[in-house]
Amino acid sequence: MKRIISIAAVCIYAAILLTGCNAEPRSYGIFCFDTYITLTLYQTDGTHTDADIFGECRELLTTLDHNLSAHTDSGELSEINAGAYTSPVKVSADTYGLIKRCVELSRLTDGAFDITLGEISRLWDFSSDDPSPPDNDTLKALAGQRNYENIALNDKDCTVAFTKDGFSLDLGAAAKGYALGLLKERIKSLGVSSAVIDFGGNIQTIGACPPGAEYYSVAVSVDETNAAIGRLRIGEMCVSTSNASRRYFEYEGERYHHIIDPFTAYPAKSDIKSATVLCEDGLIADALSTAFFVMGSDKAIALCDSLYGVEAVLTLNDNSVRLSNGAREIFYE
């Protein structure tokens, strides 16, 4: 309850400050992380041009994509995947910190979010032109390994090592939210006080509200129709959605989607159709939206309600909606 009151208070205060300031929103698009990203600027202080702001965002995104993708020759994640079993791999403090937090989130979710699914993701290969389900025995051998327990991290040297062979990292469930957190800080430092970044299922609002409004109203959509099942009344927040419709293929009449249950190595089947998570921290919102989808609604709501500053809107397979305690105050249909 405390959290919601403080969000509303900030919004009203900002609305008073922004009265009479109604610059036209400007939107810019970029394709990165295999996703179309839109930056909409509502209000800037004029110290940097839109072109400068957008250029900085593009540069940051390109660097992050290179370092965090498992499909490059020389990025940091590729170097870890190629060499961390042989000897510890030194990475930047930022990438080290990201991996460390992802291991913590893997533990927090009891392995429902698991960054060590790289080999399983590679076998499923959802970006292939002609995908088909991998061999069942090969998948079974990779299921339930909890390999995040086999990552050795050295804080002093910023090195990552694998203490077991046969696995690799995939940051696909967390990198967008992490990138949104960094983008938020970067554009605020360039004088942006009100903006929205839409990053393929992950929305970052910047500032308490758009000019002339009292809050951001963010639509929650749960499938490929993009129809809103409701809206969230929020201030500055990251809103991440995970569901089966974002990436999938059909094979012999069956649909296979991209969110993997680490304990079966097959696409997750829970009572959840779509999981939306809100948190000020983009990495947490992104990782937990994936984890909640895998965990199912009972475990997801219990975990969510035990965490400070995290809320969830879960749409179940029968299209009913389950809300975390705090989400009841900010979700409306």
Q: Is 307 exposed, middle or buried (0-12, 13-18, 19+ CB in 10 A)?
A: middle
- What is the per-residue binding string for ligand AMP in 87-126, x denoting contact by CB under 6 A? --------------------------xxx-x---x-----
Distance CA 42, CA 19 (A): 13
Give the Cα separation of 70 and 66 in Å (integer): 9
CA dihedral 162, 167, 262, 180 (to 10 degrees): 70
Q: From the CB of 172, what's the least distance to Mg ion, in Å?
A: 8
DSSP label at 68?
Answer: H
Those residues with Cβ within 8 angstroms of residue 155's Cβ, 6 or more apart along the chain or in another chain: 96, 100
Which residue from 290, 297, 315, 324 is in contact with ligand AMP, where contact means CB under 6 A? 290
Using the minimum distance from each CB to ligand AMP, give the nearer residue, 199 or 215: 199
Say whether residue 273 binds ligand AMP (CB under 6 A). Answer: no
User: From the list ligand AMP, Mg ion, none, which binds 259 (C-beta under 5 to 8 Å, kind-based)?
Assistant: ligand AMP
Residue choice 37, 112, 173, 218 for contact with Mg ion (CB under 5 A): 173
Other C-beta atoms lying within 10 Å of the C-beta of residue 94: 16
Which residue among 286, 297, 314, 330 contacts Mg ion (CB under 5 A)? Answer: 286
Q: Which residue is nearest to Mg ion (CB)?
A: 290
Binding-residue total with Mg ion (CB under 5 A): 4
Interaction pattern, residues 158-197, with ligand AMP; x per rule: CB under 6 A: ------------x-xx------------------------
292 binds ligand AMP (CB under 6 A): no
Spatial neighbors of 55 by CB under 8 A, at least 6 apart, are none
3-state secondary structure of 4: helix
* Separation CA 55–CA 185 (nearest Å): 15
- Choice between 196 and 283, CB closer to Mg ion: 283
Closest distance of CB 281 from Mg ion, Å: 13
Select the residue interacting with ligand AMP from 75, 148, 205, 258 (CB under 6 A). 258
**How far apart are alpha carbons 301 and 58 in whole angstroms?**
36
The Cα–Cα gap between 225 and 13 comes to 36
Is residue 319 a contact partner of residue 273, using CB atoms and an 8 Å limit? yes
Q: Tell how strand 272-279 and strand 310-316 pair up.
A: antiparallel
Binding residues vs ligand AMP (CB under 6 A): 113-115, 117, 121, 170, 172-173, 201, 242, 246-247, 258-260, 262, 286, 289-290, 294
Binding residues vs Mg ion (CB under 5 A): 173, 286, 289-290
